[in-house]
Amino acid sequence: MKNKLDLKPSEKILIVLMKSSISCIFISLFFGIFGALYYIPFTATFMLKANLSLIQLRPLHTTFASAWIYLGAITTIYKYLFDSFGEPSIGTMKRFKAHMILWGLAGLGILCTLPFGITSGREYLDFHPLFSLFILLGWLLFAWNFFSHVWKKFWERPIYVYMWACGILLFIVTFLEGHAYLLPGIHHYPIVDLQIQWKSCGSLVAAFNQMVYGSLFYVGERLSQDSSIAHSKKAFFLFGIGLLNSFTNFAHHTYHLPQSHLVKWIAFSVSMLEIIILVQVYRDVVASIRNQENTEFQTSIKFIHLSKCWNLCLLFLAILISVPPLNSLIHGTHVVMAHAMGSELAIDSYILFAVFASLITELFPQKKIALQQLNSLSIQETIYWLNGFLICLVSWLLLEGLVVGYVRFFSQPVPAWWKENFSPFFVFFGVGMSVCLIHLLLKWLSLLLNGHFKENEFNEREHL
């Protein structure tokens, strides 16, 4: 960015957060690519000989993918705090350094222990509980920084502050709930353990969704220069439905478990309320396509448009998954994986990419240079191919899951020819998507690392 001596404390914080976020994506992609290669028998044989299994790779992939989403949303939140309340105080800086050190130690510990089989064996919380303590303590310090600024006149704040507040608090509650298995009264009752585990996982995902959707409102307000959007009754109404769903969206994972039918009906009814959001998203997509114009934030707007289109498709899929007869066919198949991967990358990540593109433009001292690289033809083509590979990957996973669900309905095994033909396409689409992501992020990382370039130096390097 600027010369390091010229950076304000707020700019240093944002740059550290953005670099940390992008690092988490690289780590997640690294293990994700190896995990995809595991689906090919030839490469799986060599990986097994090296004592490297999918059981080790998948937790590392999902852990750092989740870390990217959380850190990306936290970057946006800190940007809002600095814009609204000025430069950070000494106390804020100390708490920031402390929570980044705690999270860094947790990430390093997870990275070093999971490959050696030191794990909790839990879904999405696979790492040792000691690292959970580091994560939780860091989160409490981050929450302190947030609420110490926004608590005054909280009820007058825009909608994205409400979303961030709910996401931060929901994370604390569900993260603790996810560790209920450590209690003897839970550990000795497998069904209760499963009920709590899936409830906590569903609400934990809802926590970062609240934070990411809040970031979408925030960047949308900044790009449109229209603050009325974040104060509208419609925004608060949709927020209410989304928050209600945050507490019930776990149920489509637990239809098969013995629990109160009232819980199942409440969860199903709330899921059907999401049709309201579906209709609104459809209207927004149509309006955004009609009103699309070329602006200096072309890349940010493109990612927002893509996230809206994906939201439309994946919300429709989520509603179908919530229908019990359909749920019984596809639960445990790659349909769920397609929905999760599409949601995390095509919605959450696309929104955060839009935020990062606008932040880089603001932080870069030579705005013209930043815009040249962010909106370059190379970047636009990369986004096009990234989205194309993602469409193919999600569609292929959906097809595979539907095939498995269909044969399972007739109590038949999955045909051998289908298993053999599934893996190569899955690997090809997954690796292609990863390559596009790496290319995009390396371009952005060069701006973060080499932001002190003068314009003529930049142009010479681009020419070479």
**pTM of this prediction?**
0.89
Q: What is the pLDDT of residue 109?
A: 95
Residue 300 amino acid letter: S
Q: Look at residues 371, 372, 376, 341 and name the one whose alpha carbon lies nearest to residue 358.
A: 371
> Averaged over 129-154, what is the pLDDT?
95
Residues whose CB falls within 8 Å of the CB of residue 280, separated by 6 or more in sequence, listed in order: 234, 238
- Give the whole-angstrom CA distance, residue 258 versus residue 281: 35
148: left (phi over 0), alpha (psi -120 to 50) or beta: alpha
Instruction: List the Cα angle 257/334/304 in 5-degree steps.
Output: 105
Higher pLDDT, 239 or 286: 239
Instruction: List the Cα angle 360/366/372 in 5-degree steps.
Output: 70
CB 180 within 8 A of CB 247: no
Distance of alpha carbon 420 from its chain centroid, rounded?
31
Beta-carbon neighbour count of residue 423 at 10 Å? 18
- Give the whole-angstrom CA distance, residue 394 versus residue 396: 5
pLDDT at residue 258 tops 80: no
Q: What is the pLDDT of residue 450?
A: 62
- Give the whole-angstrom CA distance, residue 172 versus residue 165: 11
- Give the whole-angstrom CA distance, residue 161 versus residue 264: 31
Instruction: List the Cα angle 189/191/193 in 5-degree steps.
Output: 65
Q: What is the pLDDT of residue 444?
A: 82
> Averaged over 205-213, what is the pLDDT?
87
CB 161 within 8 A of CB 211: no
- Give the whole-angstrom CA distance, residue 272 versus residue 315: 10
- Give the whole-angstrom CA distance, residue 273 versus residue 327: 18
Highest mean pLDDT among 46-55, 136-145, 329-338: 136-145
**What is the band of 461 on the pLDDT scale with cuts at 50, 70, 90?**
very low
Q: For the chain, how many residues are written? A: 464
